[in-house]
Structure 1
Amino acid sequence: MSLGTFRGVPRNDLGHLNTSGRPDPDAVFHRANLPRTGLDDVPAAATGVMCSVALYLHEGDLISSLTFISGATAGGSLTNQFAALYSPTGALLAQSADKISEAWAADTAKTFALATPQRITKSGVYWAALSIAATTVPTLAGSLGAKPVLTGEGNLAQTSGTGLTATAPATIATPAFKRHVPLVLAS
């Protein structure tokens, strides 16, 4: 087996990544866009703007919900909150119900059940989206991502839409690069 110039044991060198996933892979199914280590407090998006993050899903996965985790800033005067799952081409597959003014405290996971669970028929990069309309949009647990520079690279996170309330757009139209990449768990 050729590992280039690497001379170590890959399992040993990558062992720290075991802390990023679920402790027992057979306990709870989920897919995540980021490891649980190295996360910080990142802004979501402006009020009424959708933030979508790249999420690799495997053929056969059944996605019923999307979970985002707030950071140090709680949501204030929330009026609309929804999550949505989009196809690799940016077409809406399913969205959650609008959680309207439901509170979102700091450092709290919030799960958005999709109205229709989605069975993934082809492995690839999908888009998990979150839109919040509020006086104070909560910050989220996440990381920083670099802007795509090579041909074929895509955004890790992006924003789209304005003035969104209770309904996800049919497509992700005119996405703009977003440096802050929120953590999302799909289950």
Structure 2
Amino acid sequence: MTVHGAYRGIPRDDLGYLNSAGRPDVFHRANLPRVGLDDVAALATGVMTSVDLWLNEGDLVTNLTFVSAGTAAGTPTNWWFALYDPTGALMAQTADQTSTAWAADTVKTLALATAQRITRSGKYKAAINVTATTPPTLVGTVGAKPVLSGEANLSQTSGSGLTTTAPATIATPAFKRQVPLVIAT
């Protein structure tokens, strides 16, 4: 066993509560613990926001879930979720929800067009786009810009003028301070 400072346990096991506390005993992966979350303005109309989401080999991802916070979507015209592989290539997208309302403080779980069996453990990207007069705020947190060489953005934006379809790749990502909560089931 590797010793990590004065701690002699397995850090992964000790920190497991961060990903599963208070959640049902069913398959799920989340990018954030359910503590310390708040209302964050993570979206700009027609601009995709994506966050890292660790997935394990063998996971079967059928749905993505985001949660609106204090502000509802105002006059949405298009909105969808998508899953990208570690290289930034699109794996699957949900159906475009067009003008379907998204109220404040509401959980939205959308099915991917095709369920994705994960063949390699790693950091995938879960993405959301809302094209609306006013995009909803989301439940999430605020993250710091990468500091060390090789660190990735916890949240990033890409694209503009997006409507019905997720881009084939995440191109020219830009750092985003607001990190929305996403859950894969």
What TM-score do the two structures reach when normalised by structure 2? 0.92
Q: Which runs of 4+ in 1 moved over 6 A?
A: none
Other-structure match for 1:23: 22
Q: Distance in 2 between the 1:129 and 1:62 partners?
A: 17
Candidates 76, 81, 95, aligned match of 1:97 = 95
Q: Distance in 2 between the 1:23 and 1:52 partners?
A: 25
Q: Kindly provide the amino acid, as one letter, of the partner of residue 157 in structure 2.
A: T
Q: Distance in 2 between the 1:162 and 1:145 partners?
A: 22
After superposition, the C-alpha distances for 1:61-120 in whole angstroms (9 at most, x for unaligned) are 000010000010011101000100000000000000000111111111001210000000
Q: Distance in 2 between the 1:177 and 1:141 partners?
A: 18
Offset at residue 3 of structure 1 (A): 3.6
Q: Distance in 2 between the 1:36 and 1:129 partners?
A: 19
Unaligned segments of structure 1, at least 5 residues? none
Other-structure match for 2:162: 164
Q: Distance in 1 between the 2:171 and 2:23 partners?
A: 38
What TM-score do the two structures reach when normalised by structure 1? 0.91
Cα pair 2:19 2:30 within 8 Å, conserved: no
Unaligned segments of structure 2, at least 5 residues? none
Other-structure match for 2:108: 110
Q: Distance in 2 between the 1:129 and 1:22 partners?
A: 24
Is residue 62 of structure 1 aligned with residue 60 of structure 2?
A: yes
Is residue 47 of structure 1 aligned with residue 45 of structure 2?
A: yes
Other-structure match for 2:76: 78
Q: Distance in 2 between the 1:177 and 1:111 partners?
A: 25
After superposition, the C-alpha distances for 1:21-60 in whole angstroms (9 at most, x for unaligned) are 25366x3210000000000000122100000000000000
